[in-house]
Structure 1
Amino acid sequence: MKADRTFENLSERRIYAPDSPNASTRILNGKSSNVLNWDDVRYTWAYPLYKQMLANFWTPFEINMSSDRKQYAELSAEEQDSFNKIIGLLAFLDSIQTDYANRVANYLTDSSLTALMTVLSFQEVVHNQSYSYVLSSLVDKSKQDEIFEYWKHDGVLRERNEFIIDGYEGFVSNPTPETFLRSIVYDVVLEGLNFYSGFSFFYNLARNQKMVSTSTMINYINRDEQLHVHLFTKIYQAVCDEFSLDMREANHFVEKTFIEAANLEIKWGNYILGDRFVGITYSELDAYIKFIANKRVNQLGGERPFPEHRKNPMPWIKAYESINDGKSDFFEQKSRQYTKVSEDNGFDDL
């Protein structure tokens, strides 16, 4: 990613710059008053994305977990184990994302992008709280605490998570345009790949009419994460353009990183799912992860690292990855059977 300005140090955005324009002069190390006027911003795609993120607003309190509470007790021991481990993983990932988004925002010298990062960070907090909400509906407090500790002690999960953390720490400890850009690649891995084997587990339960309320919540999270990936790929492209980076080297890094990330995700997917559940085979999951990796690399401007995987091997999952107005959907022509929470059917006090 070498270029004339690649290795200049990044400066944090000033909180107040009255001699600078409202519309920033550059995405990083630019001049900006730090005043947000949506009719005077550098990037025309920022405001439509902001409106879309707001339109997706939801909270876990909307969803009644009563049916899931009953069904959880009826799941097999293996289903419960995978359910718990995946929730533990998601809680870790979204906790880290909240902090990472704030650190990215500190260096963006464009007030509209800072605003988008603030919304993104808030959504990650909502996601993280939703996992607590799910677990408080299903298990007692001691089990919930145990699930939130999985990431510390599970070797497969730890290896997978530290791959991302190492990429983030490279930026945090040495903020340059190059490390900033590389951290975005790791972000797209996290938000655009690392969730997907876990998501497929919940969606597979839902198409068998199990844990539909949990899968509805996961669907809302999935929808948010797709927008987050879109936002970060737009920022990635803007940095590449404005710093005249060597795209051959940048694309090589993207492709290499996603190959390693996909292999770790496949290892994790085999560990939590394998061939133990009807509806998802190990070979299908392997191919699905490679298909998603290809999609994300394309979004970042690279060439498919797995060229033989151009078609989604689990087409049924499309119904779960897209959602209309956030309140109802059809899974294989079946209605989501959930209701909103009232004072009598929530489980916040458990």
Structure 2
Amino acid sequence: MKPFRVFNGEVNNKATKIFKGEASGICDWDDIKYPVMLELNRAMFGEFWIEDEIRLNEDLKHYRHSLTDRERYVYNILTGMLTQLDSVANRFNFLLGYTCTDPSVAANIQLVGAFEGLHARSYQYLTSTMLNAEEKKEAFNAPKELPLLKERNKEIFELIQDFVDDPESMDKLYKALLAYLVLEGIYFTGAFAYFHSLARTNRMIGSNNMINLIKEDEVQHSVLFGTIMQILMLEFPELNTKENMEFTLEFIKRCVEKEKAWAAFIFDGIDNMTINEYSDYVEYLTNVICRNAGIQEVFPENKELRSKWILTYGSKKKKEGGLATRSDFFQTNVINYSHESGDGFDL
């Protein structure tokens, strides 16, 4: 790949295309091709936080004395898995920002990469607080050793690596972005439900607060990359083919089935949520990423999030009018938050 021009005084500041286009290199936010990029930039900066803001003293007590052996195992493995995905995301965004020719889009991609690095550091904070050295080693080796997890991740990593190996190919770029949408919007966000289920039983509240900070970031990232996918279809109509659309829908369906198979293994023996609930949630998340990217919904019958407790425990707490509230990221509602006693779960 040819090195990009850091400055080109012979062309306009406004980019001609987000990839393989021309731009001076000056990022004039008042003169950008897609004004939504400024809105997204402000939104992402508005959510800045660091992991030390979260206190985990009570979580450590819960981890040692209130969680079952299976619940501790799942906590460990999921934090190791999430670290793996964020590590890949960080490196992918670095290359994507390098190849992007629109300074405003590149600025947002680079910001996403920085947040993915923060997320990886945050999982490190969780594991370093709860786990001993042997447990942490097992957790971080799990993505390399557990067959169902390796199988789930294999295809998305292959598509991302194909683009890394050949960043000039627009077809490989499209498929890498598709894989990244799945990584962000399904594999990340789906796993967060486990932490919400623990908070639902008044345990590991600090860990869930951390996850909800990360979750809000990931929702914004999914919107950004869905927007980039739509722009790609607009600027490169040769990618908008029947064959690509068929590949896209089949790829997403395969990823969902692999996620469900992995969930059936990792959540076996977990009483706080059922596999059916999780499967419904994954299908709902799949429709969200499809809408973000302008893709036909894969599960049109699953338009509502059926397990409403995910909204209660899976949103960042905010203060409005002196009341503790939580926002529904997916439906942009605000609902009153009150901690449930644990009775009458709708499992």
Instruction: Give TM-score, length-normalised by structure 1.
Output: 0.88
Partner amino acid for 1:189? V
> How far, CA to CA, are the matches of 1:335 and 1:40 in structure 2?
47
Conservation of the 8 A alpha-carbon contact between 2:284 and 2:302: yes
CA deviation after TM superposition for structure 1 residue 14, in Å:
1.9
The match for 1:150 is 142
Residues 1:322 and 1:95: Cα distance change in structure 2 (over 3 Å): same
% identical equivalent positions: 27
The match for 1:270 is 264
Query: Is residue 2:90 matched to residue 1:86?
Result: no
**Deviation >4 Å, runs of 4+:** 324-332
Q: How big is each residue's C-alpha offset from its partner over 1:187-238, in whole Å with a ceiling of 9 and x where there is no partner? A: 1100000123321110000011100000100001110000101111111111
Residues 1:168 and 1:29: Cα distance change in structure 2 (over 3 Å): same
> How far, CA to CA, are the matches of 2:109 and 2:128 in structure 1?
29
Question: Which aligned pairs between 1:204-215 and structure 2 lie closer than 5 A?
Answer: 204-215=197-208
Conservation of the 8 A alpha-carbon contact between 1:127 and 1:221: yes
Question: Which aligned pairs between 1:92-107 and structure 2 lie closer than 5 A?
Answer: 92-107=84-99
Unmatched tracts of structure 1, length 5 or more: 1-9, 337-350
Partner amino acid for 1:194? Y
> How far, CA to CA, are the matches of 1:324 and 1:252 in structure 2?
40
Residues 1:139 and 1:47: Cα distance change in structure 2 (over 3 Å): same
Conservation of the 8 A alpha-carbon contact between 1:254 and 1:297: no
Question: Which aligned pairs between 1:38-49 and structure 2 lie closer than 5 A?
Answer: 38-49=29-40
CA deviation after TM superposition for structure 1 residue 46, in Å:
0.7
CA deviation after TM superposition for structure 1 residue 12, in Å:
5.2
> How far, CA to CA, are the matches of 1:13 and 1:43 in structure 2?
21
CA deviation after TM superposition for structure 1 residue 325, in Å:
4.7
Instruction: Give TM-score, length-normalised by structure 2.
Output: 0.88
Unmatched tracts of structure 2, length 5 or more: 327-334, 341-347
Conservation of the 8 A alpha-carbon contact between 1:177 and 1:239: no
> How far, CA to CA, are the matches of 1:27 and 1:11 in structure 2?
16
Query: Is residue 2:124 matched to residue 1:132?
Result: yes
SS of match in other structure, 1:149: helix
Residues 1:318 and 1:12: Cα distance change in structure 2 (over 3 Å): farther
Q: CA RMSD in A?
A: 2.1
> How far, CA to CA, are the matches of 1:319 and 1:55 in structure 2?
22
Question: Which aligned pairs between 1:1-350 and structure 2 lie closer than 5 A?
Answer: 13-74=4-65, 75-175=67-167, 176-245=169-238, 246-274=240-268, 276-323=269-316, 325=318, 333-334=337-338
Conservation of the 8 A alpha-carbon contact between 1:254 and 1:300: no
Partner amino acid for 1:13? F
Q: How big is each residue's C-alpha offset from its partner over 1:154-213, in whole Å with a ceiling of 9 and x where there is no partner? A: 111111121211110121222322111111110110000012332111000001110000
Conservation of the 8 A alpha-carbon contact between 1:252 and 1:302: no
Partner amino acid for 1:129? R
Q: How big is each residue's C-alpha offset from its partner over 1:77-136, in whole Å with a ceiling of 9 and x where there is no partner? A: 010011111111100000000000011111110111111111111100110000111111
Of structures 1 and 2, the one with the larger relative CO (CA 8 A, separation 6+) is 1
> How far, CA to CA, are the matches of 2:134 and 2:278 in structure 1?
32
SS of match in other structure, 1:32: coil
> How far, CA to CA, are the matches of 1:153 and 1:194 in structure 2?
18
SS of match in other structure, 1:73: helix
Residues 1:88 and 1:332: Cα distance change in structure 2 (over 3 Å): farther
Partner amino acid for 2:90? T
Residues 1:196 and 1:66: Cα distance change in structure 2 (over 3 Å): same
Residues 1:94 and 1:326: Cα distance change in structure 2 (over 3 Å): farther
